[in-house]
């Protein structure tokens, strides 16, 4: 198919809800390491990584070799039979899980991983109420949307009984109008207020992203999660860390984003970067929580040999190449340069994130902090013209998300920053 035939077929044959970033959809035809190429053969430096999914570079040879070998050996039998790829991955996850004896349940997406986490929390506690955070994103199923605190991603009748929302830790736009640290992390106390005023007092749990991804890489202060996790447990609930974006070393040095806060969760969920683009969802839980799911449950494709062999190869590669450390050091290098850009371009109101998960919140001016969604769209187009791919997010659509593969170098960052600087300058002109 030609580029135009692809765009036309997409327009005519896909649900219009399948949206694209650009005025003219960007048709990509191949990718390698940190680069992708469009239908005309033009190269782009990919600093969005397929929405934080290409964790070890496009077409990683080590991951692909494992997948190629597996495809010719055993492709699918379903989870009613035991296979080595699923067992080996579960063993590996248990090794790096937040606590001893953790068990895994595999599905095909982050949405399903979160569904299972909520189910496990409800089975374990016997309660049904769940606390989520405003500005969160937890998936696209009925439950996923109901847990999502962002109107843009709640289609149809997305509200479900038993889910209530606390304020998030959005320091740049504090929901209480306070300033950190004199605020004494007031937002964390809101979780207690919500439990006491909107639930029976005993809850099944709380689900939260260590850094809110779709919400625009909103990064809570360091005390936030230890306060919140204690409140949740004091009310009988389990604490679920949605690591779909923050897992696998992305935030630097640690496997799980929640470890940056010194908190041990009861359940973690993963997807995206775990298998470098092969569909996978992971719900991992401490043994008591996992064992409480007593009735039979099944995911036909979950735990399949191809995606689990890929995921194991990804984790091995991250370990072998010390990529969590690279996320910290190259991430710090990137952060320094983004802060330099902030001093140069008034449109950058906030720079935030951890490791190789960094964001720029764009504003009309740094004093009013009025969101700049139109300018953000313009910047996305300019970045494309300058040969870099970035992501967009935030409730107002005014946050640029930067999340390259974990094995990028400082030289890649230099090229990226040069192109981003030029894109910002061309937008301002
Ligand atoms: C934090 C978080 N949780 C869950 C999901 C849902 O994952 P999936 O799209 O694989 O269903 C996403 C997707 O963006 C996410 O960012």
Q: What residues in the chain have per-residue pLDDT under 70? A: none
Among 111, 247, 275, name the best residue to mutate to test ligand 1's pocket (greatest count of ligand atoms within 8 A of Cβ).
111
pLDDT of residue 428: 79
List the structure tokens of 30: 């191949």
pLDDT for the residue 157: 85
What is the residue whose two structure tokens read 């995921």? 311
**For residue 20, what pLDDT is reported?**
87
CA distance 186 to 167: 10
Residue 222 pairs in a beta bridge with none
The pLDDT tens digits for 189-236 are 999 999 999 999 999 999 999 999 999 999 999 999 999 999 999 999
135 CA to centre of ligand 1 in angstroms: 13
Task: Report the distance separating Cα 46 and Cα 58, nearest Å.
Answer: 9
How confident is the model at residue 262, as a pLDDT? 98
* SS3 of residue 370 by DSSP: coil
C-alpha to C-alpha distance for 364 and 372, rounded to whole angstroms: 5
Mutate to test the pocket of ligand 1, among 207, 213, 258 (most ligand atoms within 8 A of CB): 213
Whole-number Å distance, alpha carbon 51 to ligand 1 midpoint, is 9
Structure-token pair, residue 391: 């992501």
CA angle 129, 241, 131 (to 5 degrees): 20
Residue 201, both tokens: 């007092």
> Among 105, 93, 77, which residue's Cα sits nearest to residue 306?
77
Which residue's CA is minimally distant from atom 8 of ligand 1?
110
| pTM (whole model) above 0.75 | yes
Site to substitute for ligand 1 among 245, 279, 357, most atoms within 8 A of C-beta: 245
Residue 175 Cα to ligand 1 midpoint, Å, equals 24
Q: What is the largest CA-CA distance in the chain?
A: 62
Domain 3-56+323-428: top CATH class: alpha beta
Local structure of 206: helix, strand or coil: strand
Q: How far apart are CA 417 and CA 47, in angstroms?
A: 10
Residues 404, 36: Cα–Cα separation, whole Å:
12
242: CA distance to ligand 1 center in Å? 9
Please tell me the distance from the alpha carbon of residue 134 to that of residue 166, in angstroms, as a whole number. Answer: 6
Q: What is the pLDDT of residue 190?
A: 97
**Sign of the CA dihedral running 206, 211, 217, 223:** positive
Q: Are 278 and 241 in contact (CB under 8 A)?
A: no
> Checking DSSP bridges between strand 399-402 and strand 357-362, what pairing results, if any?
antiparallel
Show the ligand 1 pocket: residues with CB < 6 angstroms.
Answer: 109-111, 114, 137-140, 209, 213-214, 242, 244-245, 271
Distance 227 CA to ligand 1 centre (A): 25
Distance from residue 46's CA to the centre of ligand 1 (Å): 20
Answer yes or no: are the C-beta atoms of 308 and 280 closer than 8 Å.
yes
Give me the CATH topology for the region 63-320. Answer: 3.40.640
Classify 156 as helix, strand or coil.
Answer: coil
What are the tens digits of pLDDT across the range 89-129? 999 999 999 999 999 999 999 999 999 999 999 999 999 99
Residue whose CA lies nearest to ligand 1 atom number 1: 244
Give exposure, 324-349, as e/b (b: 16+ Cβ within 10 Å). Answer: bebbbebbebbbebbeebbeebebbb
The fraction of the chain above a pLDDT of 70, given in percent, is 100
Q: Please tell me the distance between residue 138's alpha carbon and the centre of ligand 1 in angstroms.
A: 5
- How would you class 262 by CB atoms within 10 Å of its CB: exposed for 0-12, middle for 13-18, buried for 19 or more? exposed
Q: What is the pLDDT of residue 156?
A: 83
Every domain of the chain and the residues it spans: 3-56+323-428, 63-320
């Amino acid at each position: 198919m030609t580029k135009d035939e692809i765009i036309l077929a997409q327009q005519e044959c896909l649900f219009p809800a399948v949206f694209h970033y650009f005025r003219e959809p960007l048709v990509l035809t191949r990718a390698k390491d940190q680069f992708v190429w469009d239908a005309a053969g033009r190269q782009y430096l990919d600093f969005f990584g397929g929405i934080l999914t290409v964790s070890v570079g496009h077409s990683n040879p080590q991951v692909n070799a494992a997948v190629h070998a597996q495809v010719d050996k055993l492709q699918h039998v379903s989870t009613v039979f035991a296979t080595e790829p699923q067992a080996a991955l579960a063993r590996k996850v248990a090794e790096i899980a937040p606590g001893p004896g953790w068990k895994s349940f595999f599905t095909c997406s982050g949405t399903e991983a979160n569904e299972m986490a909520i189910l496990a929390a409800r089975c374990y506690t016997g309660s049904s109420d769940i606390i989520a955070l405003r500005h969160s994103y937890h998936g696209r199923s009925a439950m996923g949307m109901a847990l999502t605190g962002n109107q843009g991603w709640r289609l149809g009748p997305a509200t479900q009984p038993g889910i209530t929302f606390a304020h998030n830790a959005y320091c740049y736009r504090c929901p209480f109008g306070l300033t950190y640290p004199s605020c004494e992390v007031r937002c964390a106390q809101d979780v207690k207020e919500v439990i006491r005023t909107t639930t029976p007092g005993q809850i099944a749990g709380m689900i939260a992203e260590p850094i809110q991804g779709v919400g625009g890489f909103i990064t809570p202060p360091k005390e936030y999660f230890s306060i919140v996790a204690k409140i949740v447990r004091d009310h009988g609930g389990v604490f679920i860390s949605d690591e779909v974006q923050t897992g696998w070393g992305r935030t630097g040095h640690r496997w799980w984003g929640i470890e940056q806060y010194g908190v041990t969760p009861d359940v973690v969920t993963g997807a995206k970067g775990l298998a470098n683009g092969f569909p996978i969802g992971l719900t991992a839980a401490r043994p008591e929580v996992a064992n409480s799911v007593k009735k039979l449950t099944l995911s036909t494709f979950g735990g399949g040999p191809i995606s689990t062999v890929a995921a194991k190869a990804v984790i091995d590669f991250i370990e072998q190449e010390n990529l969590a450390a690279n996320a910290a050091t190259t991430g710090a290098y990137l952060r320094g340069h983004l802060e330099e850009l902030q001093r140069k371009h008034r449109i950058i109101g906030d720079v935030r994130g951890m490791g190789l998960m960094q964001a720029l919140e764009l504003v009309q001016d740094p004093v009013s902090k009025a969101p700049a969604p139109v300018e953000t769209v313009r910047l996305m187009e300019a970045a494309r013209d300058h040969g870099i791919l970035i992501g967009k997010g935030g409730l107002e659509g005014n946050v640029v998300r930067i999340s390259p593969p974990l094995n990028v170098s400082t030289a890649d960052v230099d090229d990226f920053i040069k192109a981003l600087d030029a894109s910002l300058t061309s937008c301002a002109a």
